[in-house]
Structure 1
């Protein structure tokens, strides 16, 4: 008789794959154009990719355990996968910003400010910020690239991924209708 894979093990394995995908894409984008790392479209695109992959992995797991999965089990699977993804992403970004290219945070901070000023210019508020305010903004952005800043951002990510795990669980779950009266 075959032994079913536990939801924890399936979540860990799926999270490992998501984390590896995240690391590969982060380094690929870094080598192509590091400025894309602070582009909103890149971050949003990754989020969509992770949700789609989590759904695919969740459905695959559901099929492997007989085709039915409760919402609770589907949520546990999803949140474990996303936590592993967050941890691997944290390690990847810390390595990138601290070891591989320590000058990258300063360049990305400058790019973030350029992006912000370009958006403000489109709304007719290009002169709304003083040089002191821009310097203050730059310092705040640079704090986000420190180890503490990255850890803090990942705690915020955990909340976002917790909500996304609810969505994934809602898609992946399937009740066994034959057990209903």
Structure 2
């Protein structure tokens, strides 16, 4: 009888795979048009791919366990895979924003402020509703997110979000063996 992998061991390969897929998509988008990195569509597509891959690998792991997995195991698998994926993504983003293109953060911060102001105008807010000081604060806050400290802080906050996502995925991936109920 073959030994079953623990959720930790089973989550390493999927986490690395998802992280590398995420990085590949990020770098492809960067090379095509870096301003798309702050696009809502890019974020939405990335989330759909992310959830699809986690569910795919989770179901694969559940099959390895005999077709059934309790909530705790599903949560552990999901959380560990997401954290590993996040670490791979963090390393890749640090390389992108700090080594490959240190000016990218400034470009994206400027683009983000422009997008925000354009959206405000579309909703009927006057162009001068925000003062220059407020706009500069918004630009600086966005730019701070692209610094090394900002990226590490965002990853720390993301751990809480990862736990919530893993709870949702755990509920999706769990499957009880009904034959054991009496």
Q: TM-score, normalised by structure 1?
A: 0.96
Specify the alignment match of 1:133 in structure 2. Answer: 134
Deviation at 1:39, TM superposition (A): 1.1
Counterpart residue number, 1:14: 14
Instruction: Compare 40-49 and 18-27 and name the one that shifted more.
Output: 40-49
Aligned position for 2:51? 51
Structure 2 portions without partners, runs of 5+ = none
Query: Where does structure 1 differ by over 6 angstroms across 4 or more consecutive aligned residues?
Result: none
Cα shift at 1:124? 1.4
- Where 1:33 maps in the other structure, the secondary structure is helix
Match runs of 1:136-155 below 5 Å: 136-155=137-156
Shift of 1:158: 1.8
Tell me what 1:174 maps to: 175
Unaligned runs of at least 5 residues, structure 1: none
Q: Does 1:25 align with 2:25?
A: yes
The equivalent residue for 2:160 is 159
Could you say what the CA RMSD is over the residues aligned between the two structures, in angstroms? 1.1
Alignment partners' CA distance in 2, 1:157 and 1:116: 23
Cα-to-partner distance string for 1:21-76 (whole Å, 9 max, x where unaligned): 11101100000110011112211221221111111100000001111100000000
CA distance in 1, matches of 2:153, 2:106: 19
| CA distance in structure 1 between the partners assigned to 2:102 and 2:116 by the alignment | 23
8 Å contact kept, 1:29–1:37: yes
Aligned to 2:79: 79
Instruction: Tell me the distance in 1 between the aligned counterparts of 2:10 and 2:119.
Output: 42
Alpha-carbon distance in structure 2 between the residues aligned to 1:151 and 1:128: 33
- When normalised by structure 2's length, the TM-score is 0.95
How many equivalent pairs are there? Answer: 181
Question: 2:96 matched to which residue of 1?
Answer: 96
Q: Distance in 2 between matches of 1:7 and 1:132?
A: 50
